[in-house]
Chain A
Amino acid sequence: MTTVIRELGDEQRELVLNMGPHHPSTHGVLRFVLHTDGEVMRKAVPEIGYLHRGLEKIAESTTYPGYVPYTDRVNYLEAMFANEAFSKAIESLSDIEVPERAQYLRAIAGELNRIASHNITIGCITMDLGAITPFVHLLRERETINDLIEALCGQRVTHHYVRIGGVAYDADDNWLKQVEKFLNHFEAIIEELDNLIVYNEILVKRMADVAVITADDAVGFGLVGPNLRASGVDWDLRRDMPYGIYPKLDFDVPIGAGEKGTVGDCFDRFVVRVRELKQSCRIIRQCINNIPDGDIIGNVSRKIKPPKGEVYSCVEGARGELGVYVVSDGTEKPYRVKWRSGSFSAMSIIEHISEGLMIADLVAVIATLDVIAPETDR
């Protein structure tokens, strides 16, 4: 038998474990090298690059409208936001006016996408902590959203719905009614979620006070979105750097309050996402009530040639700030595209906070930080 314990010194004995790339709780092809002392970790070093598809390089040989479907693949759980971020960049580069109806449709589709993505995240958190049933129930709700989005644009996962200058298809009144019907159903499900699993004693015990990320650390490591807000930093792009139709809408931004432990622990990151579901429902209701008639796509020429220049555009995705930096050299193909994603910064903080955690805690940390492998690698 080969020996599994290596001697480091008099009192330093450690077990080096390889977690991933194939591991049920790494959610895709992630890898961690764990240095542990029995169950307690010295550190966990993340390894990325298993899912690198060269999305940024592909952009350099694709036209601007032709690159929009590629953005669906940045993160398979939030295709709407990637579409929107890229479209927004090109719109601001070449001064394209987006019709108001299209902006409302973008908000509805985006928030539906956010609910779908959070459903997966919340389900995965509970599943990684051992409760499988909530995952299946939430997946069922996501399925309805997929059906709705399929009815809207014909795609269930890689939507390609938001285009440069507007959106691809219009929604009829019947569809909006179906969305409202779904919301009536889903708001009851959120309550049920609270009753069934969120305040489950074991779940709270597993997540409260575990892997606390202070506000300073969160800002320092560039955490975004729900992860940042869970640490008590009140920052939401939809409110603080408004874009699209969001300034006209009324919604709250839930932040971590240390409900069961310290501010910025795993439970805060979990519960912030649960609270965001309700706010998304609120936003969609307002959009449905106020949506005007009109065009769904602005005056966009077939060949888009933005003037020379560069732009950074970002939207508040389900995993926080999803930004894209586009450099144009005046031709119909971008000179350079760079993506900035929430999962990448979330990965980088794991090594910092992993000291002293147990192996089971690391599973909770990965799940609550909501790391999605394709988004870290692009």
Chain B
Amino acid sequence: MNALADFIINSLGLSGLSAELVMLLLVVAVAAAVFGIGMTISGLLTLAERRVAGRIQSRIGPNRVGPFGLLQWLVDGLKLIMKEDVVPHDADPHMFRMAPYLVVVGVFAAFASLPFGQLLIASDLNVGILYLLAITSLVTVGVLMSGWASNNKWSMIGGIRAAAQIVSYEIPTALSVASIILISGTLSMQGIINEQGGWPWQWYIFYNPFTFAVFFLYFTAALAEGNRIPFDLPEAESELVSGYNTEYSGMRFAGFFLAEFANIYLMSAIATTLFFGGWQIPGVTPEQQAGSLVLQITGMVVFMSKSAVGCFVVIWIRWTLPRLRIDQLMSLCYKYLIPLSFVCLGGNAIYLLIFPKPSSANTLVHMITTLFGGVLIVIFVTRVMYHHRISGVSLDLNFLARGEKGKYNPETQVRAYGSFRKKYEKKQGAK
């Protein structure tokens, strides 16, 4: 962004106060753009969640507003804006009103250092990943505040659950991120991507067996930090009704809602950056990419597709698994995830001690890990296909299904048989 600012200021020949003013305007513009991108992504994700859930549950999902229902999220947002912003009588009004801002700021400020492309990053901080871990912690404060200020016992339990959960799961998240930092030697998001390559065996997930394990640790911990099933205890629909956001309505509720979905994208994008080579295109070096606009755009598409796959997996898990109990959640974190993260961190350190520099032995380890990962994927797909085959249901992955408008075909309906079938046929005969 600094380069852009310099370019504009120099070409306009500005100096002194006016240069500062342009800089300020530019900062505001970029912040607005980042916020807008974040909002659009989380809005589209709400729609994606509903369409994917629809397919998983043998139904269609929203498909009426706009082509394929693509404008549904806009209309929902509009509805929420127009709703009354209710503050409960016994609530602490100032805290109650402030809480959603903290959640929204905590999540959307993180978008500032997400590397959407080689040049498409609002601010490539040299402590990028540390900034991300730190700023998302604001969410905890907001959630706890909303739960407490609502003065609703169920909300309070939700808020306290959220605080306990997010604080606990930040430890394995940070430890797994530390493993990657150890390998890359940099905290900058672009730096971490530059250290990787376009091909799968150049990604950090297949760097060595420890990073392979670290990815799953990170993914589990991030799911828990994002309050997603199987770790969605703070809002557990069937236990706490809706947890900390029960009392919220209108745009404040939308704040929580959008922040949750932005968080899904955030964790997928961070995973893409840390483990899946970010915007790196197979067979193209970062230097080549820097010189070409087409390759820049391709890189952006690559990043977005990788993180979209991550989001899909998160949604898929949401609609498949049941929820853990709070004690099981805590024991999973403190008894399994944290010790395993420490083991992986130590393992990575020892690995780096043995193979400090890129060498052929190093490449061999990458290749073997990649092969192992590939075999796992093949086993998984085979299992899914096997169970799908024995269930005898036809595969339908059309996530943009339109559905039939009000068509009722008595021939295909069971109810058309029996005594009612005769009535139907009599009616047809009369016509």
Contacts and interface: CB of A to CB of B under 8 A. Distances in A.
Interface of A: 1-2, 4, 15, 17-18, 23-25, 39, 126-133, 136-137, 140, 144, 147-148, 150-152, 154, 169-172, 174-175, 178, 182, 188, 191-192, 195, 197, 200, 202-203, 205-206, 358-361, 363
A129 B323 contact: yes
Given A17-B153, A136-B59, A358-B326, A151 B238 contact: no
A363 B413 CA distance: 36
B420 to A, nearest CB: 5
B299 to A, nearest CB: 36
A331 to B, nearest CB: 35
B227 to A, nearest CB: 12
Contacts of B232: 130
A178 B420 CA distance: 13
24 contacts: A24-B238, A39-B157, A39-B327, A129-B238, A131-B320, A131-B323, A133-B56, A136-B57, A136-B58, A137-B57, A137-B58, A147-B413, A151-B418, A170-B419, A174-B418, A182-B414, A200-B321, A203-B322, A205-B324, A206-B325, A358-B327, A360-B236, A360-B323, A363-B238
B292 interface: no
Contacts of A175: 417-419
A178 B414 contact: yes
B392 interface: yes
B322 A206 contact: yes
Given A1-B151, A4-B153, A130-B229, A200 B322 contact: yes
Contacts of A200: 321-322
Given A39-B327, A132-B57, A200-B321, 9 more contacts: A1-B151, A39-B326, A133-B53, A140-B58, A147-B413, A151-B417, A192-B387, A360-B236, A360-B325
A356 B347 CA distance: 41
Given A131-B322, A358-B325, A363-B238, A178 B92 contact: no
Interface residues of B, number: 45
B29 interface: no
A360 B92 contact: no
A197 to B, nearest CB: 8
B410 to A, nearest CB: 11
Nearest to A189: B391
Interface in B405-424: 413-421
Contacts of B85: none
Nearest to B156: A4
A361 B239 CA distance: 9
B324 A206 contact: yes
A147 B415 contact: yes
A359 B157 contact: yes
